[in-house]
Chains A and B, each alone.
Chain A
Amino acid sequence: MNTRLDATMPFGNTHNKLKMNYTAEQEYPDLSQHNNHMAKVLTPEMYANLRDKETPSGFTVDDVIQTGVDNPGHPFIMTVGCVAGDEETYEVFKELLDPVIEDRHGGYKPSDKHKTDLNAENLQGGDDLDPNYVLSSRVRTGRSIRGFCLPPHCSRGERRAIENLSIEGLSSLDGDLKGKYYALKNMTEEEQQQLIDDHFLFDKPVSPLLLASGMARDWPDGRGIWHNDNKTFLVWVNEEDHLRVISMQKGGNMREVFNRFCTGLTKIEGLFKEKGHEFMWNEHLGYVLTCPSNLGTGLRAGVHVKLPNVSKNEKFGEILKKLRLQKRGTGGVDTAAVGGVFDISNADRLGFSEVELVQMVVDGVNLLIEMEKRLEGGQSIDDLMPEQK
């Protein structure tokens, strides 16, 4: 029997062959109300060029853009509006994703190379962010396992395989990284409550940005949380990416957080390699993740910091921009700040190394705290205004 490569996939939510019965014009989405990176880039001509293509696992351009079609915009941020279903998505749909990446990542060109640096020794300082202001420090990134489809597109079988590989790999961690895996679907009431209290438990996504891409299918099958006994190193399995790796602790010792982050990540990568699996990575895009916004380092290093005075200053936005930092509410990307406490983190992901990005956060937060202290004392901060990084 002849099994063609373009056979329909069981777990996609669109089927390409049927669409080809209609012209590109008839299928082109209505993006007139839209304001996301995808909508800015996807012309009818581009759609016509891309619509008959598929990645080897059957991901199509309509799969890539569905979330951007369904979600015209976001109140606080300019969303990307596309996702990848597998590693090859970034190749097959270059025509769309390269300009999106360039737009989103500050002019990063298709010919640019991304530098990876997970050597925590290269970080200067960072161990003494003022704990009177900095409540907690955190670094997170994501990793994808090469050869598997990404969360928008994976089947239940694949997702379970990813979970099994992750459990295997993580169970070999020892020392201060030794820990335990909690599968979402087998969790006891007590375990669940504990994880909620620790602020570790992740919920089924409710954001329509994520739901529309298909990442929440079959919830909670194949999802879980691993954390070390010290509760300072945490891995989410099969949420928005195959793995989300988080190092965090209370207080302002970002250096220690980053140290543990790098050690942990490197160990995990080694454990996967022992089993014959590697992470998705290439020298142009760095680490490959589901959302184009997380390419490169996928790294968000941040603090929860009290900045009641600086945040009211009319130049706050400009300062953050110059420092290449971003503010969020302490509830995460979709929240607003409460009580002058902000989540301040690096704005970039791609085109800078991990060390460089954490350095920006350390230096930037130190400056913001200095500004806050000045404003507390009624002094001016004009001489502290930074240059554009």
Chain B
Amino acid sequence: MLNKSYLKEVFQSSMLKDVMQPNIMFVQCHLLSGEVFILYCVTIISKNYSNIIETLNFKRATHYNGPYTVLQSVRQFQQPIQAQKAGLDGKQVGKETLPPPFTVSILSDGPRSQRSLSSLRSLSDCGNNMASSFSRILSSKRNVGILSLVGAGSLTVGLLLNREQHVSAGAPVRRVYPASAEYPDLRKHNNCMASHLTPAVYAKLCDKATPNGYTLDQAIQTGVDNPGHPFIKTVGMVAGDEESYEVFADIFDPVIVERHNGYDPRTMKHPTDLDASKIRSGQFDEKYVLSSRVRTGRSIRGLSLPPACTRAERREVERVVVNALGGLQGDLSGKYYSLTDMSEKDQQQLIDDHFLFDKPVSPLLTCAGMARDWPDARGIWHNNEKTFLVWINEEDHTRVISMEKGGNMKRVFERFCRGLQEVERLIQEKGWEFMWNENLGYILTCPSNLGTGLRAGVHINLPRLSKDARFAKILDNLRLQKRGTGGVDTAAVGSTFDISNLDRLGQSEVHLVQTLIDGVNFLIECEKRLEKGQDIKIPAPISQFK
């Protein structure tokens, strides 16, 4: 029977004695009965005391739906924690109030316990014995080893937080030079990172690392190496894992605010909505619209992102995703083409279909480390009808694309949502999930793709409108963006444009696609009016955040 005194024994017998800082530990316990408990244990050690002072509490999780539910339950501990101080003789001498625990990283049993294990291991203040006993438990296959150790239930890993307002559970970073000697020279730089990385922010963050060991210098390397373009402001930093956005929030947050036109992740919530039935008028006039496409990205929680992942992690991403995609059926059923063992014939076909992606050459990507070990564990999956496509381990764990010729955006989006939700269901069956949180939405490598990560667009012919002086302003007010049909770095050829949504974060998928649809319909109306010699009006600017 799992009770407080038993757990107290477990904690005391572990090496929490060696912990030198106030800590809050969350442990998720899975009982044979299927119940899940979240325990948190506060330990305060100070050099003046030789005892461990603990306050043990636990809370029953509402129902187990993977680690995401655990996170939500844990977040409910928003009140300050009362902890007791004991003197050398063990008698209580006072109380101390610790601030409420900050958000924790996800941890659970199953495949991701490997990552939680690294959190334990990387903690310099956590006793070696605790980490090693957990490692013995977890390196054996899941529950069997655990049960044999504790008898009544399975005890999985924990995560130590320290008292500061960051998840800085990684080991302290050893520096030989002070922050001022390491601060990058950003005088010639014009990217979002350079605009916000002051020496003070750098000094505050340069000693920190995520639980996986990802550091600030790694996150900003691409922005240091690529000063930017005078006309286009690049982001200049990437995340190496989900925790990067927390540990380095002092730089990520202002970058996100700037890049996403005022969306503040510290105070705002991002809505997710993949219900394609809500879309209205999603069929475009095919006299103008040549093709329709929606793309986004998804990351697998518990595995590092492309800038930081090890070869084994990348292969694991490939395995998990390809496995899930193998379960797709009907119009979504398809096939995977690994880049490492692609036949000449397959390669040519994929090139002809415009599906094949190359090793990145853009220094924005290569300097971030995303192209390491190419083409190991990279590949392309598509359905037999060639209308649903997934890239694996390119710039993100996955990029998901739904597309077809013509103007049926509603169908494209419907397939998009259906495919995404199916894939999500299939990975959840195996105990995995996507990286997501309520402030940042879907977590991807580049901060510019947070939220929905969604770009919905059309290739459209607008011979008259595109020559009108008001074109740019109209697009701006409709919150649309134009590109050449070769992609982000190309110019338009003739009068065919790629028109897509400008925003990514702060509005839901449905909202963004509806905005795109309404906008494109408006553009088509303008083009028709100009054809008839009628005048057009610039629409009122639509509001950005609902």
Contacts and interface: CB of A to CB of B under 8 A. Distances in A.
B272 interface: no
B373 A29 contact: yes
B221 A15 contact: no
A9 B20 contact: no
Residue with the highest number of chain B CB atoms closer than 10 Å, among A9, A16, A28:
A9
Given A1-B125, A3-B174, A19-B312, A155 B213 contact: no
Contact of A9 (B173, B224, B310, B373): B173
Contact of A10 (B175, B312, B369, B374): B175
A29 B177 contact: no
For chain A, what secondary structure do more than half of its interface residues adopt (helix, strand, loop), or is it mixed? loop
A320 to B, nearest CB: 34
For chain B, what secondary structure do more than half of its interface residues adopt (helix, strand, loop), or is it mixed? loop
B21 to A, nearest CB: 8
B9 to A, nearest CB: 25
A19 B182 contact: no
A258 B184 CA distance: 39
Given A17-B122, A218-B224, A185 B185 contact: yes
Interface stretch (A118-126, A156-164, A333-341, A351-359): A156-164
B225 interface: yes
Contacts of A22: 114, 310, 312-313
A17 B313 CA distance: 13
A211 B366 contact: yes
A8 B215 contact: yes
B224 A217 contact: yes
Interface in B200-214: 206, 209, 212-214
A9 B225 contact: no
B118 A17 contact: yes
B176 A157 contact: yes
Given A18-B118, A22-B312, A10 B184 contact: no
Contacts of B371: 70
Contact of A7 (B124, B217, B340): B124
A2 B114 contact: no
A11 B315 CA distance: 24
B403 interface: no
Interface in A13-41: 13-23, 26-30
Chain B: interface size category: 35 or more
Interface in B177-191: 177-178, 181-185, 188
A2 B310 CA distance: 27
B124 A2 contact: yes
B304 interface: yes
Contacts of B172: 1, 3, 7
A18 B304 contact: yes
B308 interface: yes
Nearest to A220: B185
A219 B225 contact: yes
Interface string A179-212: 0000001000000000000000000000000011
A218 B184 CA distance: 8
A21 B115 contact: yes
Chain A: interface size category: 35 or more
Nearest to A221: B185
A70 B374 CA distance: 6
A212 to B, nearest CB: 8
B182 A221 contact: no
Contacts of B224: 217-218, 221
Given A7-B173, A22-B310, A22-B312, A13 B369 contact: yes
B441 interface: no
A389 interface: no
Contact of B217 (A5, A155, A160): A155
A4 interface: yes
A297 interface: no
A155 B179 CA distance: 11
B177 A155 contact: yes
B214 A15 contact: yes
A66 interface: yes
A4 B171 contact: yes
B170 interface: yes
B121 interface: yes
A198 B19 CA distance: 61
Nearest to B115: A21
A23 B115 CA distance: 14
Contacts of A8: 122, 170-171, 173-174, 209, 213, 215
Given A17-B118, A30-B340, A2 B312 contact: no
B215 A217 contact: no
A216 interface: yes
Given A7-B172, A8-B174, A27-B311, 10 more contacts: A7-B124, A7-B171, A11-B215, A18-B118, A21-B312, A70-B372, A70-B374, A161-B177, A185-B185, A212-B372
20 contacts: A7-B171, A7-B173, A7-B174, A9-B174, A10-B173, A10-B216, A18-B310, A21-B115, A21-B118, A26-B311, A26-B312, A26-B315, A27-B310, A155-B177, A156-B181, A157-B176, A161-B177, A212-B372, A218-B221, A221-B224
